[in-house]
Structure 1
Amino acid sequence: MSAPNIVWISTHDINPDLGCYAGEWPGAEYAHTPNLDRLAANGARFDRAFAAAPVCAPARSAIMTGCFPNAIGTMHMRTKAVPPPEVKLLPQYFREAGYYCTNNYFTDFQVDVPPLVFDECSPSAHWRNRPDKDMPFFAAFHGMTTHESQIYLNEESFLRSTSNVALQDRHEPSTAPLPPYYPDTEVFRKAWVRYADLITEMDHWVGGILDQLEEDGLTENTLVVFWSDHGRGMPRAKRWATEAGLRVPLIIRWPGVIGPGTVRTDLVHTMDLAPTMLDVTGLGTPAHMHGKALLKPDGTFTNPNTYIYGGRDRMDESEDTSRTIRDPRYRYVRNFHPDRSPMPHIDYPDHTATWAELRRLRGEEARQLACGELPSHLSALQRSLVAASKPAEELYDLEQDPHETTNLVHEPEHRKALVRMRKALKVWQDDIQDLGMMPEPHLMETWRSDGRAPVVATPTLSVTQEGVMATCSTPGASIGWTALPQQEQTPRKLMDRVTGSPEEDGRTWNLYTAPIPTGEAKVLRFKAWRLGFRPSDESLLPGPGRESTKDIEGGRLQEKPPVPSANINLQ
């Protein structure tokens, strides 16, 4: 059997709130998701899948590198990390192996994405654009439909954003399954209904991608993966190291290999997806990855995780640090700054209706206290979200308490579990040398001692009988080449800079893997990238004004220096 094509379909900010998770995740029966339900019925549903972090950029960095964020420096929301030299983004491995790799379109991996990673990264990127229809492909589609921002749109914009949700499929506020840590108010019921309607809209989008695979006759040899980056975009979920912050849907369909209706209850990191994809396509897992393959090439499942790990670090301007470990029954949380509020002031979410509602109700309670009355607008559990502090340690029995309402740290009958998980968490942190324990300014200094990113060395070229060979002295650097001349660079928009989308210079860069025949090209251009570094200058062969390769001596261009690239990031 040939190696499969791979399609990743991901969404933002949802828990397993899909119909196919009914009975497994509280309230999942509320959702209307026929396409994802069908995908799960034809493949494997993972019931205990978890993000590495409860916010998008750190979580996505783990998925795309196969590494824990706090091991490679990508744990803060947001940053531009300098990972160790061996770390690469997953699609580059596939591109090196001859896959056509696309991304449509969101990145947000905590690094500037080199143009070598994808053949195309744009809103129109698609497997259908590959030059040879027999090429295998890795195609990623990242939908924004369920992002927390969409919950809080005005009425007109929300209806436009959910235009594919039929009237009979819209969710009823009176039956919204609010968890007990939310107050039962109109604001929270409206937010929950909108969250569910957005999931139904997203399900429609997923159905369209699956239909395109069917239209192209690719369904049978394409492995499809659906995942969310982390939990729902509401308080005590997104940005919290909780079950609701970290637990996500994960579905894998691989016709003829994974049996229909498969249900997996083992503990899974979404970080495990990178090594899984590499193993099932025969490429093998790099030794530096922390993730473990969940599948063998023959479709046999593995069960590689005894524990699941995660954490919360700086969230925009709010600095905090928590670590968590999960086994099949318990979740343990270690809060390293218990004197800080669980719901700190963060400019972005503070403008959302649910955050504002919790603060409003706590304000009402303050006025009750001012009048000598007992506070009554929030339960003790709800009030704990906006408290001035939090416990140093938390332990929850998720079999008995799926909403994590009762902290068992001081309960004698759970003492053994507490000691065991406390120790296991410390062992993990020591093992990966948890960079979140280092003050961020110190970490930044190790990356950029002068405040500027290090620069990749210019590639060295030599001519052999096989063609032009290129090397780079910077550890971990990858080299690209093109025959196209420099073009005017299109400045990136602010959000593209924040999320690290590849810089556009009007050229497609081929990934260098073997000597390049000179052919008809008058000039070949070579350039090198490494994650976290500024790209190198360009090396040219034979170079402007040269008619042959005789002008190269000792492997470096002579007479004229390399032309500085228009693609250098001067941040």
Structure 2
Amino acid sequence: MKPLNVLWISTHDINPHLGCYAGVWPGAEYATTPNLDALAAEGVRFDNAFAVAPVCAPSRSAIVTGCFPTAIGTMHMRSKAVPPPEVRLLPEYFREAGYYCTNNFFTDFQVFTPGTTFDECSPTAHWRNRTNADTPFFAAFHGMATHESRLYLDDEAFAAATARVRPEERHDPAGAPLPPYYPDTPAFRKAWARYADAITEVDHWVGEILAQLEEDGLADSTIVVFWSDHGVGMPRAKRFAYESGLREPLIVRWPGVIEPGSTRDDLVYLMDLAPTMLAAAGLPIPGHLHGRPLWGTDGGVPAEPRDVVVGARDRMDAAEDTSRTVRDSRFRYIRHFHPDRTLMQHQEYADKFPTWKEFRRLASEEADQRGRGERPDRLTPLQRRFVAPSKPEEELYDILSDPHETQNLAEDPAYAADLARLRAVLAEWQAQYSDLGMVPEDELAEAWRPGGEWLVTEEPIVSVREGWVEARCATEGASVGWTTTPPRPIAEPSPLAVVTGDPVQDDRGWKLYAKPFEAPKDTTLYFRAWRLGYAPSPERTLNT
């Protein structure tokens, strides 16, 4: 039986605003997404899929490790954590099993990505680059069209960024289904229409990738997964522990296993993708993973679906805040650990965007109104909560009757039992998974890097025994890579590549050492070891 190929197609910063989610997610019918709708019709649409964090890097760390960021230290936006030694990045498990693993450049996993993670990580990475067409692949494509930064480009740049979108597919701002927590102003309507246009751009891109899969005769032997990292890149969504920050589209097509046109309404994490892909490929699932396979051994729904999913918001760049949230099939509970702080803290990155500026402009105008002895009327009470100087310690929403989370039920006696139940669930989860977000970040950093010094992975130990090359590293949790390409000058990485932790672009084709291999004759081999959160080892040379 041929091994199963794995294709991930993901985008940034969207909720389930796809046509196939009409009736499931408010306003989904506004989007023009024929390719993704067709993908859902050929597979399964998950109606209750959630990120574990409402911002990219922590969420992506969970997806690629299968672990809660708060348990492995990757919860603060833009940090370089030192996860426990057992934690690895998902593609390494596939590489060990002989898969060709690619990523079309975007990483952002909260660690520097080891050279052993991918066969290729670049804008040109593709399954078509493998040297043997029979080699199974794990290929990840990450689109940027829907990233919040794209919504606010000037008109010419936005048109270029959404060049695939035909004139008749453009979305009319007048018809934008704005959530009630946004002011109904031209700035928000324009942003929402552009958001939908960007989704349509992604839909065309997805169609192109799927067409390539068909052209190569690989559609029937490939599991295809479409997902986004977290919610829409606007205020009160991305970066915030609400439904709009955490609820995601998730579509999976698995020919011969998943019934076409099926839906799932059980609670799942994007974090579940790591163990699910391993199980689908018939590979063992490491015991330390917190995610669970999305299918049982018979391809059906797991025997014990989750009762709840948990999310966490921690430091977002310079904005220090801590919130935790629990979602069951009906309610969302949120606990804010700094209720004295406004939700809308200053964000150097986000505050330059028109929707953020619009919120602040309207709040300022209301302050002027108060100064004149007038009743403020620029914002509704719901919208005013977002710019208020403080926030409640607890929030509780009935998602079934109030999908936009407008009515906080935390102080309603009729819901006291639900509040207490979900409060206890959160406390139990924090104890079970050792919530590192409760530890001051400077203390964590000092424990990871005493005196600010990076720990260095130990040099690999290599040898040739009876014609076979053996390699190991004494650093617990390290992976060893090898190559026949000698060192060469390396261009200085861009500031963004350093922040997102992209692998060093040295063009040396590092292979992951998984087991002894036959020593090539008269060849110089180069070895290096990587451990997540450490500096890579010095290089070791072996002449065979």
With the shorter chain as reference, the TM-score category is over 0.9
Q: CA deviation at 1:298?
A: 4.3
| Structure 1 counterpart of 2:114 | 114
Q: Is the 8 A contact 1:22 1:29 kept in 2?
A: yes
Distance in 2 of aligned mates of 1:516 and 1:245:
47
Distance in 2 of aligned mates of 1:297 and 1:504:
40
Distance in 2 of aligned mates of 1:2 and 1:266:
31
Distance in 1 of aligned mates of 2:410 and 2:542:
66
Distance in 2 of aligned mates of 1:521 and 1:175:
69
Q: CA deviation at 1:4?
A: 1.1
| Structure 2 counterpart of 1:562 | none
Q: Over the residues paired in the alignment, what is the CA RMSD in angstroms?
A: 1.0
Distance in 1 of aligned mates of 2:347 and 2:435:
24
Q: Is the 8 A contact 1:99 1:135 kept in 2?
A: yes
| Structure 2 counterpart of 1:78 | 78
Residues 509-524 of structure 1 mapped to structure 2, 5 A cutoff: 509-524=510-525
Distance in 2 of aligned mates of 1:192 and 1:352:
13
Q: CA deviation at 1:3?
A: 3.0
Q: Partner amino acid for 1:113?
A: T
Distance in 1 of aligned mates of 2:7 and 2:377:
50
| Structure 1 counterpart of 2:309 | 308
Q: CA deviation at 1:504?
A: 2.1
Q: CA deviation at 1:533?
A: 0.5
Q: Is the 8 A contact 2:12 2:144 kept in 1?
A: yes
Residues 13-162 of structure 1 mapped to structure 2, 5 A cutoff: 13-162=13-162
Q: Is the 8 A contact 1:14 1:231 kept in 2?
A: yes
* SS of equivalent residue, structure 2 residue 335: strand
Q: Partner amino acid for 2:49?
A: A
* SS of equivalent residue, structure 2 residue 518: coil
| Structure 1 counterpart of 2:442 | 441
Per-residue CA deviation, residues 301-337 of structure 1 (Å, 9 max, x unaligned), is 2253221010100000110000000000000000000
Distance in 1 of aligned mates of 2:28 and 2:473:
52
* SS of equivalent residue, structure 1 residue 450: helix
* SS of equivalent residue, structure 2 residue 349: helix
Distance in 1 of aligned mates of 2:505 and 2:91:
18
**Range 487-496 or range 97-106, more displaced:** 487-496
Distance in 2 of aligned mates of 1:261 and 1:116:
37
Q: Residues 521 and 316 from structure 1, CA distance in 2 versus in 1: closer, same or farther, beyond 3 angstroms?
A: farther
Q: Is the 8 A contact 1:320 1:337 kept in 2?
A: yes
**Range 459-468 or range 223-232, more displaced:** 459-468
| Structure 2 counterpart of 1:467 | 468
Per-residue CA deviation, residues 121-145 of structure 1 (Å, 9 max, x unaligned), is 0000000000110000000000000
Distance in 2 of aligned mates of 1:438 and 1:250:
32
| Structure 2 counterpart of 1:499 | 500
**Range 509-518 or range 367-376, more displaced:** 509-518
Distance in 2 of aligned mates of 1:297 and 1:212:
30
Q: CA deviation at 1:465?
A: 1.3
Distance in 2 of aligned mates of 1:518 and 1:45:
48
Per-residue CA deviation, residues 491-536 of structure 1 (Å, 9 max, x unaligned), is 2111111111101223111111122322224322211111001111
Distance in 1 of aligned mates of 2:65 and 2:520:
36
| Structure 2 counterpart of 1:342 | 343
* SS of equivalent residue, structure 2 residue 462: strand
Residues 250-265 of structure 1 mapped to structure 2, 5 A cutoff: 250-265=250-265
Q: Is the 8 A contact 1:280 1:296 kept in 2?
A: no
Segments of structure 1 that go 5 or more residues without pairing to the other structure are: 543-547, 549-571
Distance in 2 of aligned mates of 1:337 and 1:521:
63
* SS of equivalent residue, structure 1 residue 347: coil
Residues 223-372 of structure 1 mapped to structure 2, 5 A cutoff: 223-296=223-296, 298-302=298-302, 303-372=304-373
| Structure 1 counterpart of 2:199 | 199
Distance in 2 of aligned mates of 1:514 and 1:399:
52
Distance in 2 of aligned mates of 1:152 and 1:506:
35
Distance in 1 of aligned mates of 2:297 and 2:531:
30
Q: Which has the higher contact order (CA 8 A, sep 6+)?
A: 2
* SS of equivalent residue, structure 1 residue 323: strand
Distance in 2 of aligned mates of 1:148 and 1:540:
45
**Range 479-488 or range 129-138, more displaced:** 479-488
Q: Is the 8 A contact 1:44 1:251 kept in 2?
A: yes
Distance in 2 of aligned mates of 1:169 and 1:504:
38
Q: CA deviation at 1:470?
A: 1.1
Segments of structure 2 that go 5 or more residues without pairing to the other structure are: none
1:375 corresponds to 2:376: yes
Distance in 2 of aligned mates of 1:274 and 1:465:
37
Distance in 1 of aligned mates of 2:219 and 2:233:
32
Distance in 1 of aligned mates of 2:296 and 2:537:
38
Q: Residues 63 and 367 from structure 1, CA distance in 2 versus in 1: closer, same or farther, beyond 3 angstroms?
A: same
Q: Is the 8 A contact 1:281 1:297 kept in 2?
A: no
**Range 77-86 or range 498-507, more displaced:** 498-507
Q: Is the 8 A contact 2:446 2:452 kept in 1?
A: yes
Q: CA deviation at 1:437?
A: 0.2
| Structure 1 counterpart of 2:532 | 531
Q: CA deviation at 1:90?
A: 0.4
Distance in 2 of aligned mates of 1:304 and 1:454:
40
* SS of equivalent residue, structure 1 residue 244: helix
Per-residue CA deviation, residues 446-491 of structure 1 (Å, 9 max, x unaligned), is 1000212100111112321141211111000110111221111222
Q: Is the 8 A contact 2:271 2:291 kept in 1?
A: yes
* SS of equivalent residue, structure 1 residue 138: strand
1:6 corresponds to 2:6: yes
Return the TM-score normalized by structure 2: 0.99
Q: Residues 488 and 521 from structure 1, CA distance in 2 versus in 1: closer, same or farther, beyond 3 angstroms?
A: farther
Q: Partner amino acid for 1:436?
A: G
Q: Partner amino acid for 2:484?
A: A
Q: Is the 8 A contact 1:182 1:382 kept in 2?
A: yes
Distance in 2 of aligned mates of 1:443 and 1:243:
29
* SS of equivalent residue, structure 1 residue 513: coil
Per-residue CA deviation, residues 59-116 of structure 1 (Å, 9 max, x unaligned), is 0000000000000010001100100000000001000000000001200000000111
Q: CA deviation at 1:297?
A: 5.3
Q: Is the 8 A contact 1:293 1:304 kept in 2?
A: no
**Range 41-50 or range 497-506, more displaced:** 497-506
Q: Is the 8 A contact 1:279 1:296 kept in 2?
A: no
Distance in 1 of aligned mates of 2:256 and 2:511:
34
Return the TM-score normalized by structure 1: 0.94
Q: Partner amino acid for 1:119?
A: D
| Structure 2 counterpart of 1:178 | 178
**Range 96-105 or range 502-511, more displaced:** 502-511
Q: Partner amino acid for 2:221?
A: N
* SS of equivalent residue, structure 1 residue 249: strand
Distance in 1 of aligned mates of 2:298 and 2:126:
27
Per-residue CA deviation, residues 5-31 of structure 1 (Å, 9 max, x unaligned), is 000000000000000000000000000
Q: Is the 8 A contact 2:467 2:519 kept in 1?
A: no
Q: CA deviation at 1:540?
A: 1.5
Query: Rg larger in 1 or in 2?
Result: 1
Q: CA deviation at 1:58?
A: 0.3
Q: Partner amino acid for 2:64?
A: M
Q: Is the 8 A contact 1:178 1:192 kept in 2?
A: yes
